Amino acid sequence: HRVVQALPRMAKDLPRLMRAKGFIQRTAAPAFTWQNKAFDLATGLADASCAQGFFGVNMASTGTGKTLANGRIMYGLADPEQGARFCVALGLRTLTLQTGEAFRDRLKLDADALAVLVGGAAVRQLYDRERVATEVASPDATVSHEARGSESAAVLSPDDGYVVYEGALSEGPLSEWLSGSDAAGRRQNNAQKMVEAPILVCTVDHIMPSVESTRGGHQIAPMLRLLTSDLVLDEVDDFGMEDLPALARLTYWAGMLGSRILLSSATLPPALVQGLFAAYLAGRSVYQVNRGPHTLTAPQVICAWFDEFGCESSAQGDEEGMQRAHAKFVRVRVERLARQPARRHAEVVKIVGALDKSGQPISTAEIFGNFFIRQAWGLHQKNAQTDARTGARVSFGLIRMANISPLWEIAHRLLKKGGGNADLHVHLCVYHSRHPLVVRSRIESVLDTVLRRDPDDPQAIFKHRVVRNAIDTYARSDHLFIVLATAVAEVGRDHDYDWAVVEPSSMRSIIQLAGRIRRHRTEGFESINLAVLNFNWRGLESPQAVAFTRPGYEKANHFALAHHELGGLLHESELKPLTARPRIVEPDVLNCKYRLSDLEHARLRASLLEGDKYGEHDVRQFWKNNCHLTGYDQACTPFRLRHGQDSTFAFVPDDDGELCFMREQNGQWTDANGKGHHLQRVEIVCGSNISVWPAIDLAAEIDALAIELSCSPSDCAKRFARVDLLSDPPYKYSPGLGFTRA
């Protein structure tokens, strides 16, 4: 009864952010002055957006400060007499720490203003440890506050969702109800922190239970958060097709609970914007009937668009008006982008099958490995810079693969075969989500530090100890630092590469990856610096089957391409120069059988707007009828659908210091080499002119952490040398390469 009485006062009683100078202060840097205009527009829309709702779209280009601009926009929308409350929801778990740190450092937020939801206390400890190590190793280097991490795939619970928040928590019936106790009787206040903090940075996964949970009470805290704050969906188009219905449900729920919402991505396709606006409009209509001003007979949602060139707003009460206004904004944006200095130029390169000396087909992994080295060497010639100390030519490149298993096999063969050219040394970094936690943290720390380029000092990159040592150890005239990675390197990371090679899975992935090339160097560049394979792994192995899938947009029947040779699926104008245009402009007539970008627009339109036309799941039924009361929609199209059950594994040292592969079940650790879980350890002797970079000794990392934290190596390993893997298949593991299915 006391809790029910507290709910009506909740929005007014919760802490809010007021008089925050970091949000109000004018930006003087020319590259970021657009944020001032965005803040001014948001401030002018504050009253109207409170009464009518708000649907914003931030399409500013990669590297122009979207993340901080989003915070300033949401702060501007708030009533200055009451203060701001908003939630920034991201697609990736570890990115929350860097985003929270950026808010805290650059906007000068106090400890009681911001909460950051991460995957556990271990993630936070490793992040803080790497920041200190980075500052010691590279005192003159600029440390990035924006990075990308592992996917979050679990709802908020006592065991998942550690909240970094130092504000004082209120007392009362609501706080007692939200806190609760764990199995050991200890008070757990993560849910209370999630609700109370004025600014919350988390993953979409932590907010999604508000509409997805059908039992267990996990929906309560995120629902109260949406009820009492606004919402930013960052990089919302990074989610796969299977997650779009859940995102539409979340957007509807946000509108129904009164939140103002901002979508943020440089590559937002029109159908996604229109589909989520339709969901928000439907939700806001329910809100207006029950809690809105009685003078409004129908919702006229305040819509606003922002980018680095300007901003505008209008009130929209139907999908057609919103579609026209968005198309107008994008049209002007494309014209302005065309006048910017071109920095990325792509070409489609041909990869074909081959036979060995005995006439037998060469494995796909060997074909890709040989091809990647040739392409890397060619791009190195066009994009390398000279180290002033040694005279060596050095370049940093990204090779992106769609899936971990083929990436692992390619890396294995590359390391065994060697770099080839006697005057060349290849420093290979294998980066994906299946590394032990401490190893992945170290890899990300090195990349975040090294690839933060200083456009005013090209030699600054050679001052990093990890780069300097690598160059000095191998006396060669050419050094290729290659990051062989999955999509974890594609979005959200503040990395600047000289060149890239991409195994294509979608037009969006190509555009997003291109955003990592010369990211911090704004001057024009004329040479080819992105090579796109004409076939991906699936297309080369099975030419007749669906190829651009998992990840990708291709699907059998209505959405199958006529062929999978990329040279025939892209216009040259889409590659030279490579911009976001193919993604953000939808043609009037879609040719989804023969154009890769058209296929993506068609799939998005079918998923969010025309599902019944193609026999797809119709997301609008969630708010058009009462099926949501049964949980049927959530069961048919769940968020983060997993094929199989995850388990936690770790390398734990025994009494002799030998690392044993163990599995956690119900809080107990047992030998994981039992039936169905045998781990095949693969030792790799590197060939000539190639090495793993950075070199990370897992046992040494565990020992160092144990000393720092004054705990046993065994306990330390169970916290920091863990990795989440599917329970069923056996795995292979190699230091430097991580895990893959055997």
pLDDT at position 155, please? 31
- Enumerate domains of the chain plus CATH numbers: 2-338 (3.40.50.300), 346-546+562-578 (3.40.50.300), 646-741 (no CATH)
DSSP 47: H
- Helix, strand, coil percentages for the chain (3-state, nearest 5): 40, 20, 40
Cβ pair 644, 727 in contact under 8 A: yes
Residue 147 — pLDDT band, cuts 50, 70, 90?
very low
| 382 vs 166: which has the higher pLDDT | 382
Burial class of residue 585 in the structure, from the number of CB atoms within 10 Å of its CB (0-12 exposed, 13-18 middle, 19+ buried): middle
Cβ pair 384, 395 in contact under 8 A: yes
| Distance separating alpha carbons of residues 226 and 36, to the nearest angstrom | 27
| Distance separating alpha carbons of residues 257 and 251, to the nearest angstrom | 10
Phi, psi of 676 (to 5 degrees): 80, 0
Which of 379-383, 428-432, 670-674 bottoms out in mean pLDDT, i.e. has the lowest? 670-674
Q: Under DSSP, is residue 602 helix (H, G, I), strand (E, B) or coil?
A: helix
- pLDDT of residue 422 exceeding 90: no
The secondary element (H helix, E strand) that includes residue 444 is helix 437-450
Record the tokens describing residue 404, joined without a space. 């971990």
Phi-psi region of 180 (alpha: psi -120 to 50; beta: other; left: phi over 0): left
360 pairs with which residues across the strands? none
> Tokens 């530090």 map to which residue?
449
In a 13 Å sphere around the CA of 650, the CA atoms on its Cβ side amount to 24
DSSP string, 249-270: HHHHHHHHHT--EEEE-TT--H
pLDDT at position 310, please? 95
Cβ pair 624, 253 in contact under 8 A: no
Burial class of residue 216 in the structure, from the number of CB atoms within 10 Å of its CB (0-12 exposed, 13-18 middle, 19+ buried): exposed
Mean pLDDT score of the chain, rounded to an integer?
87
Residue 676 — pLDDT band, cuts 50, 70, 90?
low
- pLDDT of residue 355 exceeding 70: no
Cβ pair 73, 45 in contact under 8 A: no
Summarised one tens digit per residue, pLDDT across range 424-465 is 999 999 999 999 999 999 999 999 999 999 999 999 999 999
- pLDDT of residue 140 exceeding 50: no
- pLDDT of residue 296 exceeding 50: yes
Phi, psi of 389 (to 5 degrees): -75, -45
Summarised one tens digit per residue, pLDDT across range 38-70 is 999 999 999 999 999 999 999 999 878 899 999
pLDDT at position 125, please? 76
Residue 726 — pLDDT band, cuts 50, 70, 90?
confident
- pLDDT of residue 393 exceeding 80: yes
543: preceding bond cis by omega (within 30 degrees):
no
Amino acid at the residue 725:
L
Please tell me which of 191-205, 222-236, 279-293 the model is most confident about, judged by mean pLDDT.
Answer: 222-236
The distance of Cα 300 from the centroid of its chain, to the nearest Å, equals 32
Q: Under DSSP, is residue 634 helix (H, G, I), strand (E, B) or coil?
A: helix
Beta strands 659-665; 668-671: pairing state: antiparallel
Residue 154 — pLDDT band, cuts 50, 70, 90?
very low
Residue 152 — pLDDT band, cuts 50, 70, 90?
very low
Residue 299 — pLDDT band, cuts 50, 70, 90?
confident
pLDDT (mean) for 279-290? 93
pLDDT at position 320, please? 96
638: preceding bond cis by omega (within 30 degrees):
no
Record the tokens describing residue 348, joined without a space. 């489609």
pLDDT at position 94, please? 67
Residue 106 CB neighbour total at 10 angstroms = 14
Which of 128-142, 554-568, 628-642 bottoms out in mean pLDDT, i.e. has the lowest? 128-142
Record the tokens describing residue 340, joined without a space. 């910017």
pLDDT at position 91, please? 85
Cβ partners under 8 Å of residue 175, min gap 6: 169, 189, 192
| Distance separating alpha carbons of residues 442 and 149, to the nearest angstrom | 12
| Distance separating alpha carbons of residues 163 and 115, to the nearest angstrom | 6
| 576 vs 141: which has the higher pLDDT | 576
Residue 718 — pLDDT band, cuts 50, 70, 90?
very high
In the 3-class helix/strand/coil scheme, how is 166-211 assigned residue by residue? CCCCCCCHHHHHHHCECCCCCECCHHHHHHHCCEEEEEHHHHCHHH
Cβ pair 284, 301 in contact under 8 A: yes
Share of the chain above pLDDT 90, in %: 64
Cβ partners under 8 Å of residue 418, min gap 6: 686, 687, 688, 689, 690
pLDDT at position 183, please? 47
| 149 vs 589: which has the higher pLDDT | 589
Cα-based distances in Å from 31 to 61, 68, 333, 401, 454: 11, 13, 16, 32, 15
Amino acid at the residue 739:
F
Please tell me which of 73-82, 127-136, 625-634 the model is most confident about, judged by mean pLDDT.
Answer: 73-82
> Tokens 């169970």 map to which residue?
718
pLDDT at position 84, please? 93
Cβ partners under 8 Å of residue 586, min gap 6: 269, 270, 271, 601, 605
pTM of the predicted protein model: 0.90
Which of 197-201, 425-429, 528-532 bottoms out in mean pLDDT, i.e. has the lowest? 197-201
pLDDT at position 583, please? 96
| 130 vs 245: which has the higher pLDDT | 245
Q: Under DSSP, is residue 330 helix (H, G, I), strand (E, B) or coil?
A: helix
Cβ pair 348, 576 in contact under 8 A: no
Residue 360 — pLDDT band, cuts 50, 70, 90?
confident
pLDDT (mean) for 707-712? 92
531 pairs with which residues across the strands? 347, 501
- pLDDT of residue 153 exceeding 50: no
Residue 248 CB neighbour total at 10 angstroms = 26
pLDDT (mean) for 187-215? 85
